[in-house]
Amino acid sequence: MAHPRWYVGNFSEGYHQVSQAIKYSLVDLNKFLDSFDEPIPNRCVIRPTATYAAFLDASYHPKYLVSHKTRSSLFDRLGSPPACPHEIGKQALEVERIALLDGDIPYFTDGILSNLMASEDNNNIKANNMSDFMTVPSATLKIFGSLPFNVINYIQNGAFAGIDSEVWDTRYDGDIKPFFSINFQSNSWLNILYDLTLQAYKLVVWDKVNSSASMYMQIVGADHRIQTVPMNAIYYEGQGILWLFHEASSEKGDADYAALLTAMLRALVDSPKYISDEPVSGFIGSFSQIRLVPLARQYLGDEIAKNLMATLIKWVCERMDKPNEIENLKVDYVTGLSGALAALGMLEGSSDSEVYYLRDRVHAVVINSLVKGELEDTYGIAHGPLGLMLGLVLGGRPLTDVEQQKLRILVYQRVEKELKGVEMQDVASKHAWCSGISGIAEAFAYVLNATGGLEEQDYKQLIELYDQFQHDIASLKGPTDFSLCHGLGGALSAWYRISCLLPELNLAEKVRGEAAQLRQRLCDGELEIRGGVRHATSSLGMMLGMSGVVLALNRIENGQEFTSFLSF
């Protein structure tokens, strides 16, 4: 079955040719638009056309062709268009349903929408969809071609990408090329980092007036479709790009990268905005910007860094003050308060009382959830009890002797249970940081270290687990997930983080050797980084994309410490 991604190259080439023709004909096109006496109705898109296509495709399945009523009920499941008032949404849905029943893609214009809306709203629709037909294209044509073609190409790549799981399922298809070209013939992960940074630099869009800059990035949406969106400052996603430019700037002393990073940070953190019901975490959501405080201080100044930290802490405190709000907040490591607690631990040098106040409040919620066994049925460091324990020891308040003893017993019990649970999984899943052995080992080592230290049998168990990891990944062939969350990059990072707790085992040197070995296997074609957003090659995101991979493996290979952006 053909997939749209097979044709993105043809589409981009066709777009390039047409755009060149438009640029050569701008004067004639503007004259043509000026020749109309009356405005031409403009289409109003209220829902992605791909959504209509998906519903139409499903409607031809035999189970929906049994009757007109059954097919009609399928289209009713579209629901009201997003962000549409209830009454208008009901009427718009009816227009959509009728068109789809006839096998057509719904097509809204001002004339159709006029009948759905009250007069005062209708005036707004006219202003945006008909009467401005002349001015908007004319203004657009004047700046046509100002956006670099490779930026447009990246947007098109995301538009054709489709559903995330399909991207990974088709990873063996050689016709579907990853967007970023990674040269593994380089003799170090540092050179690979430079190469990727240069490709990212070419995707930057500058706002010279406001001395700011941004770029587009690919993420996985709530419907599992790959989306191309403006870069955000969330750690899990957009921060990887910022840290990529910082690392390249620091290593090369490149003033251009430093200026770019300053402009990008200014656009993201100078006036942060927050969504009231989003998660509070050190990985996702606005609070994860707390991990940008060191960058903000270095590139924007101490005042902006302090303001960013104070604003984020105040926002979380206000959320926790709301009635019943604490019950609505997640507590796990990646999407909840445990990860936020670890992020606060990164600010340990801060003497601000607000930091300690929030730390103690979050600590109380996390430890209460652990005692109540709220995540007992979930395995892995990302969303299970081990993540709660890790957050407590990385960023929580000092534990009493009794609390340490209880936590120590609990981590032994939980690790034994989870190791048995992952034993029968495939190699990639077994060693994933988020749900596998590497994350389990990280929590195990840090919790024991914080509650009395590791004993001889603990060292033995950890080194046996690492030896198993080395043995298992040697069997991997072909397209492989390298992401920090699910892949080999995250697994190696976890082992590298705990190597400082096991100095006599020479673990750091073993992990460094493995990073170099993986690079060589990629160079030889034995392994291949392939896939979409979730599997690194079309995204620059931190946890699921390529930036996190090269940032971590470069530091590991060079024996550098993990700084704040990789320290947990």
Nearest-CA neighbor of 219 among 476, 459, 523, 538? Answer: 538
Query: What is the DSSP secondary structure assignment for residue 62, as one 8-state letter?
Result: G
Nearest-CA neighbor of 483 among 445, 448, 517, 436? Answer: 436
- CA-CA distance, 217 to 545, in Å (whole number)? 10
Annotated ligand binding at 485? The verdict is yes
User: Cα angle at 556 between 550 and 562, to 5 degrees?
Assistant: 90
Q: For 309, how many CA atoms within 13 A lie in the half-sphere containing its CB?
A: 27
Nearest-CA neighbor of 485 among 295, 268, 289, 335? Answer: 335
Question: Do the beta carbons of residue 384 and residue 375 sit within 8 Å?
Answer: yes
How far is the first Cα of the chain from the last one, in angstroms, to the nearest whole number? Answer: 42
- CA-CA distance, 163 to 534, in Å (whole number)? 11
Helix H or strand E segment including 126 = helix 119-129
Q: Which two tokens stand for residue 523?
A: 């160079």
Give the three-class secondary structure for 143.
coil
Cα distances from 97 to residues 93, 276, 477, in angstroms, run 6, 34, 48
Judge residue 432's burial from the number of C-beta atoms within 10 Å of its C-beta, 0-12 exposed, 13-18 middle, 19 or more buried.
Answer: buried
Beta 527-528 vs 478-479: how paired, if at all?
Answer: parallel
Beta 216-220 vs 226-230: how paired, if at all?
Answer: antiparallel
Q: DSSP H helical segments within 423-485, as ranges?
A: 427-430, 437-450, 456-473
- CA-CA distance, 412 to 85, in Å (whole number)? 53
Nearest-CA neighbor of 383 among 348, 344, 351, 338? Answer: 338
Annotated ligand binding at 486? The verdict is yes
Alpha carbon 446 to its chain centroid, in Å, reads 26
Nearest-CA neighbor of 437 among 451, 448, 452, 426? Answer: 426
Nearest-CA neighbor of 24 among 140, 151, 144? Answer: 144
Q: Which two tokens stand for residue 389?
A: 């324990």
- CA-CA distance, 369 to 331, in Å (whole number)? 7
SS3 of 508-529: HHHHHHHHHHHHHHHHCCCEEC
Which amino acid is residue 376, in one-letter code?
A: E
Strand partners, 528: 479
Which amino acid is residue 116, in one-letter code?
A: L
Cα distances from 323 to residues 291, 315, 318, 320, 362, in angstroms, run 28, 15, 10, 8, 16
Alpha carbon 87 to its chain centroid, in Å, reads 35
Range 378-402 burial, b when 16+ CB lie within 10 A, else e: ebbbbbbbbbbbbbbbbbbeebeee
Annotated binding-site residues for Zn(2+) read 434, 485-486
Annotated binding-site residues read 434, 485-486
